[in-house]
Amino acid sequence: MALGLFSVLLFIGFWYFATKYRWSMYIRFGNIPSPVDVFNEAMTLGKNADFYNNMVVSMRRILLGFGIATFAGVGLGLLIGRYRLMHNLFFPVMEMLRPIPAIAWVPISIMLWPTNESSIVFITFIGSFFPILLNTVEGVFSLDKVLVRAARSLGASEFALLKDVILPGALPHIFTGLAVGMGVAWVSLIAAEMISGQFGIGYFTWEAYSLIQYADIVIGMIVIGVLGLACSGAIRLLGRLVMPWISPNDGRS
Amino acid sequence: MSSNEAVTKAVAEKGRIQIDDLQVTFGQNGNQVDAVSGVSIHIEPGEFVSIVGPSGCGKSTLLNAVAGFVKPSGGTLLLDGKAIKGPGADRGMVFQQYSLFPWMSVRKNVEFGLKMQRMASGQRESAARTLLGLAGLLAFENHYPDQLSGGMRQRVGIVRALATSPQVLLMDEPFGALDAQTRVVMQEILTNMWQRFRISVLFITHDIDESIFLSDRVYVMTARPGKIKAEIAIPLPRPRLPEMSTSAEFLKIREQLHALIREESLKAMGGELKEGGLSGFGIEVGPEGVGELV
């Protein structure tokens, strides 16, 4: 704890002196705003409604893109994991599209979707969809088959099997997928907003660069970090709530 | 309680299993293995029947066929005169591996079969609690399976299988993973439950003492392809007490069963040696690994 605090202070101290004396070796601190600049600018921005609006817009895009990816990824993942036919039908396409990073979809997405907003949501969706899908499939595959048999011998219908056995059984893997997916969703969102956005915290950050409001860049970065962290934390909390049978001390830290 | 007794009485009239000339073959053309061949077993309502045999003899396959997990390639399988077409709640199943749903509490596990029958949740809960009480597990109703010992998990597994009032209980080496002491206790608990519910039991085991202690009749299966080698009645009086395992009668049956199985084990090993070591493993995995059909 103390050591962690020390390293944070060391980092801020380095930042402060590097910008104060405008260090310039190979990397140049000449235009980098100092922690003091950033703090002062934050105080001003804090009273600016547009700034909050940018956060709201980004969060809405995340919720939409990630939300759709969750439903589509988990739903399709359960079917692909459960039915050989679905696996043979869909898996090759998924394997083909998976290695393409979400950012590479940006130009196509702009052409594909009628509004900027929908194309950004799409990029966010693409980024989080594959980790969620693949982890769900993996979750179904790794489910102990004896549980499926037990459910069958207790009279479970195919639908009940999916809902009451395969879905909950795959939940630990699904939540791994959600955590990874959330991270990728933010990466994709920020890139999409920087390239094609109007509003949003990624747009704000890039615009600050264009408008030479350098302190705002750092504020944008910090906000992105904090929002991303909050979203990951929310996923982890949700995971703990819906999987009470997994004791926290044998799960991931 | 009185309605419960009425139910158990009605159940006692049912649960007749007729297996005739059963044939189970795994694999595709050219690479076929007969796991079970020409097996005929009849189980009367309320009867406790065990099947013993060397490992890999197809006794689990036989049970899985009765459970509806494995499609027979020939012969007939009847439960109370009706053909068995797939798994169902009329046959309670207890597995060797732990098969409780880890995400459900003990009580929810027991309620699962009733939920599948669309019983109202209040009724479900009281039915599950009654059964858990009988098994001495009521204090653990809100525990998750991971918080229980192996013996307790299997007890919950038995209770869960009984909850839907099945006509038969199919048990696939249910105590195989337990230590010797727990095993003995579990056998007594099972006997008590069986006598209370008066349902038929088809019990797979490789433990000869266990089969004698529990059963009315014991079938011995041959090495692959699994056929019935012998049928032995166990005339020991009930209730069976642990002391009986040193009685002359018990020891005589035990001797007899040992001799029968030793013969088959040697045959099985001889076969493996002739065919080369690896084939033995292939057969172990093949017939039991039938996840595809589920």
Alpha carbon distance A46, A35 (integer Å) = 16
Surface of B (132-151) touching A: CB under 8 A: 144, 146
- Residue B225 phi/psi, 5° resolution? -70, 140
A165-191 burial: b if 16+ Cβ within 10 Å, else e: bbbbbbbbbbbbbbbbbbbbbbbbbbb
Handedness of CA B119, B121, B126, B127 (dihedral sign): positive
Burial class of residue A55 (count of CB atoms within 10 Å of its CB; 0-12, 13-18, 19+) = middle
Which among B198, B185, B158, B189 is positioned nearest to B174, based on CA atoms? B158
Q: Report if residue B286 sits inside a domain.
A: yes
Residue B61: CATH number of its domain? 3.40.50
The confidence score (pLDDT) of residue B274 equals 54
The confidence score (pLDDT) of residue A249 equals 57
Mean pLDDT of successive 10-residue stretches along chain B, which has 294 residues: 49 80 86 88 94 86 94 92 92 92 96 96 95 92 94 93 93 90 89 88 93 94 87 90 88 92 79 50 38 36
The confidence score (pLDDT) of residue B292 equals 35
Nearest residue in B to A163, CA atom: B116
Q: Minimal Cα–Cα distance from B118 to chain A, Å?
A: 11
Q: Token digits for B256?
A: 């007899």
Q: Minimal Cα–Cα distance from B249 to chain A, Å?
A: 37
CB contact under 8 A, B144 and A245: yes
User: With contact defined as beta carbons under 8 Å apart, do B80 and B199 qualify?
Assistant: no
Best residue in B99, B143, B154 to probe A by mutation, most A CBs within 10 Å? B99
Cα separation values, B71 from A246, B25, B245, B286, B290, Å:
36, 9, 38, 14, 10
The confidence score (pLDDT) of residue B293 equals 39
Which chain B residues are closer than 8 Å to A156 by Cβ? 112, 116
Cα separation values, B182 from B169, B176, B185, B186, B206, Å:
20, 11, 5, 6, 17
The confidence score (pLDDT) of residue B124 equals 95
The confidence score (pLDDT) of residue B281 equals 43
Q: Token digits for B261?
A: 């199985």
Q: Report if residue B132 sits inside a domain.
A: no
Tens of pLDDT along B117-145? 999 999 999 999 999 998 889 999 999 99
Burial class of residue A61 (count of CB atoms within 10 Å of its CB; 0-12, 13-18, 19+) = buried
Q: Report if residue B185 sits inside a domain.
A: no
Alpha helices in chain A (DSSP H): 2-20, 35-45, 49-82, 84-97, 106-112, 116-141, 145-153, 158-160, 167-196, 201-210, 214-242
CB contact under 8 A, B95 and A145: no
The confidence score (pLDDT) of residue B265 equals 80
The residues that bridge with B233 in the sheet, in sequence order, are B217
Q: Report if residue B97 sits inside a domain.
A: no
Q: What residues make up the domain containing B40?
A: 2-89+216-293
Q: Which of B92, B99, B146 lies nearest to residue A147, judging by beta carbons?
A: B99
Which chain B residues are closer than 8 Å to A160 by Cβ? 116
Beta carbons within 8 Å of A187's beta carbon, 6+ residues apart = A102, A103, A127
Q: Minimal Cα–Cα distance from A37 to chain B, Å?
A: 52
What class does CATH assign to A37-250? mainly alpha
Q: Minimal Cα–Cα distance from B167 to chain A, Å?
A: 13
Domain count, chain B: 1
The confidence score (pLDDT) of residue B294 equals 37
Burial class of residue A201 (count of CB atoms within 10 Å of its CB; 0-12, 13-18, 19+) = buried
CB contact under 8 A, B68 and A245: no
Q: Provide the CB-side half-sphere exposure for A86 (13 A, CA).
A: 10
User: With contact defined as beta carbons under 8 Å apart, do B11 and B198 qualify?
Assistant: yes
Measured in whole angstroms, how far is the alpha carbon of residue A198 from the centre of its chain?
Answer: 20
Q: Token digits for A211?
A: 């408008």
CB contact under 8 A, A154 and B68: no
Residue with tokens 């003091």: A36
Q: Report if residue B71 sits inside a domain.
A: yes
Burial class of residue A250 (count of CB atoms within 10 Å of its CB; 0-12, 13-18, 19+) = exposed
B134-148 burial: b if 16+ Cβ within 10 Å, else e: bbebeebbebbbeeb
CB contact under 8 A, A153 and B87: yes
Which chain A residues are closer than 8 Å to B67 by Cβ? 149, 153
Q: Minimal Cα–Cα distance from A163 to chain B, Å?
A: 12
Surface of B (24-83) touching A: CB under 8 A: 67-69
Residue with tokens 């990624």: A202
Which chain B residues are closer than 8 Å to A157 by Cβ? 116
Which positions in chain A have a beta carbon within 8 angstroms of at least one beta carbon in chain B? Answer: 144-157, 160, 164-165, 168-169, 171, 243-245, 247
| B243 contact A CB<8A | no
Burial class of residue A225 (count of CB atoms within 10 Å of its CB; 0-12, 13-18, 19+) = exposed
The confidence score (pLDDT) of residue B4 equals 52
Q: Minimal Cα–Cα distance from A170 to chain B, Å?
A: 10
Mean pLDDT of successive 10-residue stretches along chain A, which has 253 residues: 90 93 89 92 90 94 97 96 94 91 92 94 96 96 95 95 96 97 96 88 93 93 96 96 80 41
Q: Which of B93, B97, B102 lies nearest to residue A153, judging by beta carbons?
A: B93
Which DSSP state fits A245? T
Residue with tokens 């979707």: A113
* DSSP character string of A33-77: PPHHHHHHHHHHHTT-HHHHHHHHHHHHHHHHHHHHHHHHHHHHH
In single-letter form, the type of residue at position A253 comes to S
Q: Report if residue B211 sits inside a domain.
A: no
Q: Token digits for B203?
A: 């019990």
The confidence score (pLDDT) of residue B263 equals 84
Beta carbons within 8 Å of B129's beta carbon, 6+ residues apart = B107, B138, B141
Q: Which of B68, B89, B291 lies nearest to residue A154, judging by beta carbons?
A: B89
